[in-house]
Amino acid sequence: MRLLPTVIALLFAAMAACAADASGTWAMSLEAPQGSTDATLILKQDGENVTGTYKGPRNEAPAKGTLKGAELSLTVSIVAAGGQSLTLVITAKVADDKMDGSLNFAGQNVPFKATKKP
């Protein structure tokens, strides 16, 4: 009977150890139709909640979202040229110090890869 609580505790500890960690500074390489461009994500994770900053070629804005397992989902509201508001939706799979996903805005899906900076 005493073994069951120990086994359950070990399973939860193993699951927590396997959970992805989005915290840190990520160097992004986006493959837009106009060509490649770089951006940066600076993220802080608290449980499943993720907050931070998106720094694009022309914009810098707050990012907010979740990390569930290895699936990251972020929303970034930016002000584009001419004062137009745009919402960027970033989705990615996080594995160790790598991220693979897409950035969606105005109906365009831009794939990206990111690496966590040391």
pLDDT of residue 106: 86
Q: Could you tell me the residue ranges of all domains in the chain?
A: 20-116
Q: Which residue has the higher pLDDT, 105 or 14?
A: 105
CA–CA distance, 83 with 80 (Å, rounded to integer):
6
Task: Report the top-level CATH class of 20-116.
Answer: mainly beta
pLDDT digits (tens, 9 = 90+) for 3-44: 554 445 444 444 444 569 999 999 999 998 888 999 999 999
3-state helix, strand, coil in the chain (%, to 5): 15, 65, 20
Closest CA to 97 of 118, 67, 71: 118
CA–CA distance, 101 with 30 (Å, rounded to integer):
10
Percent over 70 (pLDDT), the chain:
84
pLDDT of residue 113: 98
Closest CA to 56 of 95, 26, 93, 94: 26
CA–CA distance, 52 with 46 (Å, rounded to integer):
11
Model confidence at 2: pLDDT above 50: yes
